[in-house]
Structure 1
């Protein structure tokens, strides 16, 4: 973390005033009488900071640094003023104009690797590279923050005037080869230094072959073929065959089958495995006969080594069947040797058995799992379900004991276990210990104070960066106490981040707040969607951050796309929102809840399908529905092939139970959520 102190001259007020504000809001003061709510000492200067930063970012063309308004003495002393300084220095580069090199160098020299310098340093280094100001580039380059583009620009700088001394030249060779030797495609900025290195004789045929192998292992056939062009045509035939297998796996596997053992054994096992995996994912039905023919053509016994032993190839075919929920999935897994099963296959063969109601087989396969895997709540629950399905007294007793054991834990599977016993589930609150003295110390850390101020200034990303820097320097015990702080400025995502580092997951009073209560209740009343469901989706989607923005540009508390929100608004007679409106908690919760209502209507109140569609979209959910008969919801959820979506559904179900329990104090049932999943049309 950056320990640059937020000194009084850069705070506008003594730090003890901010510490007092935070401590009183946390209830950490030692006074016997409850103090009055503290006045925010930074409200005015924070507002000035927000105004000037917003004006700077909204400028249609670059202007002088003071064009957004003359900074007051309070702003110049404010702990966030360096962020404004850095953004002002970035501004000319935004328009392709020459930056103030002297001022940037001075700021970087003053503040080092502080969070506010990161974007400025990267932009400036790229601009220096564009202008070929290599001495300045090398002086201010920071390898620990460099991405591939900057590493390539550094190689351009180093090779522009290469050293003459043998030791320095050898060091340059090591540096260049360290960047070059990767299976990934590198930015165009690397072309010139690599051509220079080729002229030095550094990119030898042996090194080209090694990098081609790395590219093939990464599935990058185009890069591998480019590298292999530099080798004689007769060189590296296994790698050339590997590239052909990746490029056209169906044709090349058929060629291997026709060529028999001699041709098959010339290929890299990893190449054959990669080709089979591609076929199995795209067309598992076509993969099975092709793999069987390949194994038959290989000879008896087939000498192919890992990862292309017959068992491993059949495992990949079986996984492809299970992920597509094909009728032959169980049969495909029965053809796989036990020794060839990895954890994925152990899990998915049980799921395949559950999908078709083969309960005895599912129980047998759970018993064959590695002990650590079988001990997970997931598989203890399914073992109980499978034993109960036998319908005998012994199976019922084993199932009851397993269900009872799960009730001592928290989570999705214990919630389901309670339902199987005909009971409601009461989460077990495990309150993390509090250390007020340590919390008072943490409040005084400059990074904590900047994180708070940035959050209140509407800069969630910068705030979380400061918070992450602080957490990196803390022990788990300190992180647990730090988790108590962000709630005072409503940054619940930072609370959860700190609690996760401390391995605290069951302090529900801390981790399941109900912010935006009035907005959620209004949305629930309008839509008819229970408030605990809205809170559950909100917690999973945004962790209560009203300014959250995903890589796909989903916005706000319920992560609405603008297009989805506008369509929902049109159908529901609501005002059409723009992107900024979706950052308003009232607008976002209202339209998000109405979208959930529409999905509930579409899927006939089957909330598990709603959650699947909310996360993955309606088309995958349609593919995943059972083909002919209704299916128990827990079995359907377990067979959702997208790991992210399966986890999403399970977590939102659990969140809903916790919110329901916190609101009522009553044991919770998932029965209303877990309606049988009906076949797709």
Structure 2
């Protein structure tokens, strides 16, 4: 459909009445009296209304969430609470997430009070990922004269900036003369490789005076790698210079892989005594970068790597580079080099069959494709397309009718009752903590029951994650709910896209978590970045200023996300695969991944997308969209329809230009 007609269609469907958010009063009206009392008690505590809190707390003594009031009260008084009171709480609620949360609070308070003997006694290895708590533990251990020197060195060796709690621990390294120039240099290079300039500068000042200029050398290597490499290649060999040269050549390969490879092999590697590990690191890095950029030398360079340099990433990109070049004998060789378990993965089985087809071994190809075509998956659907077979939708419920009493019994467990109550009052994070602890030690069969329970509650995201942990992937009803059909179908019609595609994107982006905010700041079901949401909203002539909560409103989120899908479709001449990749990685990256000349089959293009995340994303959205088609009960669009040939950027832009001219006629 011409772009102008699409805009007219959008205007005809424009109706902002459903954009109003759910009022707090409406939410509160759905709560029962105990839930309202609980929230009132919590608010009273936060407001410092102690008498009101105690009155409400007393009336809730038998309520499932009573431990959360006790936790909140103790948290508020942690500085004055006795050890006995805190230990009693931890023991009483040992089977809840509150026990570890309280222990963390207590440990922080013990460190603040410098009660190191008690800290050492109460610390748990479960908290080792928390660097502040772990460094406090090491400090406490040192105070008890424990030998934790290897652990201290391990913490030291990171390119990340560490919390202040680690300072006393590192002071021990200096005071005990274990902090050597080599140890400082190792961390300097770790910081340099992470481009943590502030930390690198700090560490350079700790080096011997004669070595401090290395920081300036590194800065020049970072900013002007070719000039610095050329100058450094004439200097006298030493270990630290070799470290800088390794950094510099890898840095320069980002600008020009071919020149970097040549410079490394002709002027740098021959003249310096690099370790085998350094040689492997550099050559693997340059070869992989060439593969990610689909450069013609990639397959050759990957083939030249020493076997010790060939990690899992290099193995897979040997295959992908051969696929991109459509060098089918090499595809078979590289798949054959995988171990038996890796070769059996349906991804490589599909490409083995594709390669067999291309070299005329049709019987061998058919045997593999017939097996794959029985699967409800991306490669299963591709295989069915190759053979002209109907798609298989293997649906098997996660539980049977006979399991209903067991699910009901599970719902009566105190931990699941707490989780459900927390979910109902909107404390989603606490609800998930309770749930995760409850299922942590469950068997697969028990997790299947738990997945059904979450689904019964309408807690779809948790049901999806739990059934995955149970390794049951065939319940297509539970794993792929089709919620908000009126909104999705309306937005699909408005934007002239398939509702199944919207469902595929939602399922991959958020798995139906409505209020989710990603670490990058993406919001809601369709994971819209705030800037994108506002830009799309303005383009549609809607609200110019949007808060995060407004962007997360389900109807608005689906509306803006669907409109953005339409926009990226317009950029790529209605090519669903390219638009899907663009939705995930951004249009500028997709342009770089297009073929520079000729065309590519869509399955080849998808499996050679540079980013692992985007490659897996596109495959998932295509599979999920196909399942959504099946569940919606209409025509099932085959992947062969969704995945037309991929053209060059010039060809796509020319086609878009023709569409624009046609729309004006």
Confirm or deny a common fold (TM above 0.5). yes
Q: 1:90–1:123: 8 Å Cα contact kept in structure 2?
A: yes
Residue 162 of structure 2 is matched in structure 1 by: 186
For residues 291 and 348 of structure 1, the distance between their equivalents in structure 2, rounded to whole angstroms, comes to 21
Instruction: State the 1:88 CA deviation.
Output: 5.7
Q: 1:442–1:448: 8 Å Cα contact kept in structure 2?
A: yes
Does residue 1:450 correspond to 2:450, yes or no? no
Matching of residues 209-358 of structure 1 within 5 Å: 209=182, 213=186, 216=189, 219=193, 254=230, 257-258=233-234, 263=237, 276-294=249-267, 297=270, 306-309=276-279, 313-336=282-305, 340-358=309-327
Matching of residues 37-56 of structure 1 within 5 Å: 43-50=32-39, 53=42, 55=43
Matching of residues 579-618 of structure 1 within 5 Å: 579-618=548-587
Residue 363 of structure 1 is matched in structure 2 by: 332
Residue 62 of structure 2 is matched in structure 1 by: 77
Q: How many residues align?
A: 612
- Which has the higher mean CA deviation after the structures are superposed, 190-199 or 606-615? 190-199
Residue 127 of structure 2 is matched in structure 1 by: 145
Residue 376 of structure 1 is matched in structure 2 by: 345
For residues 84 and 582 of structure 1, the distance between their equivalents in structure 2, rounded to whole angstroms, comes to 32
| Superimposed CA distance per residue, residues 459-507 of structure 1 (whole angstroms, 9 cap, x where no aligned partner) | 2221111111011121222112211110122112211222222211222
Instruction: State the 1:336 CA deviation.
Output: 3.9
For residues 623 and 182 of structure 1, the distance between their equivalents in structure 2, rounded to whole angstroms, comes to 33
For residues 623 and 308 of structure 1, the distance between their equivalents in structure 2, rounded to whole angstroms, comes to 30
Say if 1:603 and 1:119 are closer, same or farther in 2 by CA, change over 3 A. Answer: farther
Q: 1:520–1:531: 8 Å Cα contact kept in structure 2?
A: yes
Residue 410 of structure 1 is matched in structure 2 by: 376
Does residue 1:429 correspond to 2:395, yes or no? yes
- Which has the higher mean CA deviation after the structures are superposed, 498-507 or 112-121? 112-121
Say if 1:553 and 1:124 are closer, same or farther in 2 by CA, change over 3 A. Answer: farther
Q: 1:269–1:307: 8 Å Cα contact kept in structure 2?
A: no
Residue 560 of structure 1 is matched in structure 2 by: 528
Q: 2:480–2:628: 8 Å Cα contact kept in structure 1?
A: yes
Q: 1:256–1:263: 8 Å Cα contact kept in structure 2?
A: no
Q: 2:335–2:352: 8 Å Cα contact kept in structure 1?
A: yes
Instruction: State the 1:651 CA deviation.
Output: 0.7
Q: 2:452–2:463: 8 Å Cα contact kept in structure 1?
A: yes
| Superimposed CA distance per residue, residues 117-148 of structure 1 (whole angstroms, 9 cap, x where no aligned partner) | 55565456546655667688667655533611
Is there any run of 5+ residues in structure 1 with no aligned partner, and where? 1-39, 92-97, 163-167
Say if 1:516 and 1:217 are closer, same or farther in 2 by CA, change over 3 A. Answer: same
Say if 1:450 and 1:314 are closer, same or farther in 2 by CA, change over 3 A. Answer: same
Say if 1:619 and 1:115 are closer, same or farther in 2 by CA, change over 3 A. Answer: same
| Superimposed CA distance per residue, residues 180-205 of structure 1 (whole angstroms, 9 cap, x where no aligned partner) | 56665421232234325633x2x425
Q: 448, 456, 459: which is aligned to 1:491?
A: 459
Residue 171 of structure 2 is matched in structure 1 by: 195
Say if 1:304 and 1:495 are closer, same or farther in 2 by CA, change over 3 A. Answer: same
**Secondary structure of 2:361's aligned partner:** helix
For residues 52 and 336 of structure 1, the distance between their equivalents in structure 2, rounded to whole angstroms, comes to 65
| Superimposed CA distance per residue, residues 623-653 of structure 1 (whole angstroms, 9 cap, x where no aligned partner) | 2222233322211111111111111111111
Instruction: State the 1:618 CA deviation.
Output: 1.9
| Superimposed CA distance per residue, residues 303-331 of structure 1 (whole angstroms, 9 cap, x where no aligned partner) | 8653245x764443221111112233234
Q: 1:273–1:307: 8 Å Cα contact kept in structure 2?
A: no
Residue 620 of structure 1 is matched in structure 2 by: 589
For residues 486 and 126 of structure 2, the distance between their equivalents in structure 1, rounded to whole angstroms, comes to 45
Q: 1:532–1:659: 8 Å Cα contact kept in structure 2?
A: yes
For residues 485 and 590 of structure 2, the distance between their equivalents in structure 1, rounded to whole angstroms, comes to 31
For residues 275 and 219 of structure 2, the distance between their equivalents in structure 1, rounded to whole angstroms, comes to 19
For residues 115 and 275 of structure 2, the distance between their equivalents in structure 1, rounded to whole angstroms, comes to 53
Say if 1:267 and 1:461 are closer, same or farther in 2 by CA, change over 3 A. Answer: same
Q: 147, 159, 169: which is aligned to 2:145?
A: 169
Q: 2:287–2:302: 8 Å Cα contact kept in structure 1?
A: yes
| Superimposed CA distance per residue, residues 568-589 of structure 1 (whole angstroms, 9 cap, x where no aligned partner) | 2222233454222233222222
Q: 650, 653, 657: which is aligned to 2:626?
A: 657
Residue 35 of structure 1 is matched in structure 2 by: none
Residue 25 of structure 2 is matched in structure 1 by: none
**Secondary structure of 1:345's aligned partner:** helix
- Which has the higher mean CA deviation after the structures are superposed, 98-107 or 379-388? 98-107
Say if 1:280 and 1:70 are closer, same or farther in 2 by CA, change over 3 A. Answer: farther
Q: 430, 438, 455: which is aligned to 1:462?
A: 430
For residues 561 and 399 of structure 1, the distance between their equivalents in structure 2, rounded to whole angstroms, comes to 43
Q: 487, 499, 520: which is aligned to 2:488?
A: 520
Say if 1:251 and 1:658 are closer, same or farther in 2 by CA, change over 3 A. Answer: same
| Superimposed CA distance per residue, residues 572-610 of structure 1 (whole angstroms, 9 cap, x where no aligned partner) | 233454222233222222222222122222222111122
For residues 87 and 521 of structure 1, the distance between their equivalents in structure 2, rounded to whole angstroms, comes to 44
Say if 1:205 and 1:48 are closer, same or farther in 2 by CA, change over 3 A. Answer: closer
- Provide the alpha-carbon RMSD of the alignment: 4.1
Residue 13 of structure 2 is matched in structure 1 by: none
**Secondary structure of 1:325's aligned partner:** coil
Give me the TM-score of the superposition, normalised by structure 1.
0.77
**Secondary structure of 1:170's aligned partner:** coil
Say if 1:80 and 1:457 are closer, same or farther in 2 by CA, change over 3 A. Answer: same
Does residue 1:474 correspond to 2:453, yes or no? no
Q: 2:90–2:100: 8 Å Cα contact kept in structure 1?
A: no
Q: 526, 536, 543: which is aligned to 2:504?
A: 536
Instruction: State the 1:179 CA deviation.
Output: 4.9
- Which has the higher mean CA deviation after the structures are superposed, 411-420 or 239-248? 239-248
Q: 1:89–1:100: 8 Å Cα contact kept in structure 2?
A: no
Q: 2:90–2:103: 8 Å Cα contact kept in structure 1?
A: no
Q: 1:354–1:362: 8 Å Cα contact kept in structure 2?
A: yes
For residues 269 and 476 of structure 1, the distance between their equivalents in structure 2, rounded to whole angstroms, comes to 51
**Secondary structure of 2:145's aligned partner:** helix
